[in-house]
Amino acid sequence: MATPSDARDVPLEERLRQKKNGFAVFNTEERPVVSDTRTLRRANKNQPLELSSKRAVGRFRNVVEVKKRKVLDPRFEAQSGRLNEDLFNKTYAFLDDYKQRELQELKQQLKKTKSVTEKEELKHEIALRSQEMKEKQKQQMIQGALTKRKREEREAVASGKNPFYLKRKDKKKVELQAKFQDLQETGRLSKFMAKKRKKNASKDHRWLPTQRK
C-alpha cells in the first residue's frame, strides 16, 4: 500500500488496481493545515463568554420525510368484520378429528415401544394433547351455552319483550351453569363438589384462631 511519501512514484495502473481492491490511495497534493481554533474574547471580564449559534449541517439529512410502511394483518382489521366463533368451529371441525386420530396413534405407539426414554416422551405428548382437547371442549361448551342464551334473548325481543344484554356477571353465571350441567351428565359432579368442599375448608381453616399451648 502506498504511503503519502512514495504515492507519487506508484504508476497509475497500480493505483487503480489498489483502489479497486479496496486500498486507500493517498492524494499526493499537499494541503495546507487550516487551524479551526478561534480566539474567544469577552467584552468584559464579568460578562459570559459568547459562542456562535451556527452549527454545521450534516451531510446526510432527510429532506422529505418518508412514512414507514406498516405491515397489517387483514385477519385483525376492523374491515374484516367480527369473528363468528360458531361458524369458525363448524368450518374447522375436521381438525378436531385429525387431532383425535393422532392421539390414538400416539397411544398405540406407547403400547408398542420398549424404550424407556421414548415412553416418557410419548406420555408427555399424550398428556399435553389430551389437556388441549379437554380445554377446547370446555370452551366450545361455554360458547354453546352463551350462543343458546343469546338466541333465547333474541326470540324474547321478537315476541315483544324488552332487550336484555348480558353483562360480565351474567356471562359468568351461564358459564357456571354449563359447567355444572356437563359435570352432572358425565357423572363427575359428586367428585367435583367433594373437591370443592375440601378446598373451601382449607381456606376457612386459615382464619381459625390457633390453639393455645
Whether residues 96 and 195 fall in one domain: yes
Query: Which pairs from 129-137 meet CB under 8 Å and 24+ separation?
Result: 129/99, 129/102, 129/103, 130/103, 132/99, 133/96, 133/99, 133/100, 133/103, 136/96
- Model confidence band, residue 50 (pLDDT cutoffs 50, 70, 90): confident
Whether residues 10 and 107 fall in one domain: no
Mean pLDDT of 13-26: 66
Overall number of domains in the chain: 2
Lowest mean pLDDT among 23-32, 45-54, 131-140, 148-157: 23-32
Lowest mean pLDDT among 40-44, 70-74, 168-172: 40-44
Whether residues 100 and 22 fall in one domain: no
68 is a domain residue? no
75 is a domain residue? no
More confident site: 8 or 79: 79
Whether residues 193 and 101 fall in one domain: yes
Angle value at C-alpha 203, between 202 and 204, nearest 5 degrees = 95
What integer pLDDT is reported at residue 127 of this predicted model?
92
What integer pLDDT is reported at residue 187 of this predicted model?
78
The three cell numbers locating residue 166? 348480558
Burial of 126 (0-12, 13-18, 19+ CB in 10 A): middle
What is the per-residue burial (b if ≥16 Cβ within 10 Å, else e) of 43-69?
Answer: eeeeeeeeeeeeeeeeeeeeeeeeeee
Whether residues 96 and 186 fall in one domain: yes
Q: What is the pLDDT of residues 145-164, one digit of tens each?
A: 888 888 888 888 888 888 77
Q: Judge if pTM exceeds 0.85.
A: no
3-state secondary structure 139-194: HHHHHHHHHHHHHHHHHHHHCCCCCCCCCHHHHHHHHHHHHHHHHHHCCCHHHHHH
Residues 6+ apart with CB under 8 A from 153: 163, 164, 166
86 is a domain residue? no
Structural domain boundaries enclosing 9 = 1-26
What integer pLDDT is reported at residue 2 of this predicted model?
47
Whether residues 112 and 186 fall in one domain: yes
> Do 104 and 95 form a contact (C-beta atoms < 8 A)?
no
Query: Which pairs from 81-88 meet CB under 8 Å and 24+ separation?
Result: 85/143, 86/143, 86/147
165 is a domain residue? yes
Mean pLDDT over all residues of the chain? 76
Query: Identity (one letter) of the amino acid at 46?
Result: N
d(CA 153, CA 191): 34
- Model confidence band, residue 199 (pLDDT cutoffs 50, 70, 90): confident
Whether residues 19 and 107 fall in one domain: no
51 is a domain residue? no
d(CA 155, CA 48): 84
Query: Which pairs from 22-28 meet CB under 8 Å and 24+ separation?
Result: 26/2, 28/4
